[in-house]
Amino acid sequence: MRLLLWLSIVTYFLLNFISKADFNSSDKSEYKKAPPPVDWTGWQSLIDPRLQKSYDDLKKKEQERKDFLRTIKHYTTIPHKDVQVAFIVDRYNLFGDDFNSTSFKEDTKWLNIYKKEVKIAQDNLDGQAYIFFFEEYVKLLLKRSGIIKTLSK
């Protein structure tokens, strides 16, 4: 009984499908037309020009930063150990045997000026100004603290 019911349902759907389909029709207008060809210019047509400009600006700044660091490494004349001593002196506010209290305020004022100039030169990626002010800062810092009178060579 179930088999007969199942066959009748399947037959009904098959006959409905065959009666609606017209296989002898030569009229092809019912078929979808192919879309018109697209001028493909490659992946570059997909990039938003604003994003490309910001990406180019970022790459340019990275290259300028690399050139700035290369300039600093090439032209620095202060030995690395003196720079390390200066950082320690500055961080812990150390004083040596040759500490001069009379010029301390004046030297501190100039240290702050040099520190600001170093920051400005770093922001502007000006390697020569950075080297000049940084070296002056280190020399004055060591002189002010009285730790080293002359830089080692």
pLDDT tens per residue across span 39-69: 766 666 667 777 888 889 999 999 999 999 8
User: What is the token pair recorded at 78?
Assistant: 């202060």
- As a whole number of angstroms, the distance between CA 94 and CA 88 comes to 8
Burial of 10-39, coded b for 16+ CB within 10 Å and e otherwise, reads eeeeeeeeeeeeeeeeeeeeeeeeeeeeee
| pLDDT for res 28 | 56
Q: Give the number of other CB atoms < 10 A from CB of residue 113.
A: 14
Structural domain spans, the chain? 47-153
Global confidence as pTM? 0.58
Highest mean pLDDT among 20-24, 28-32, 37-41: 37-41
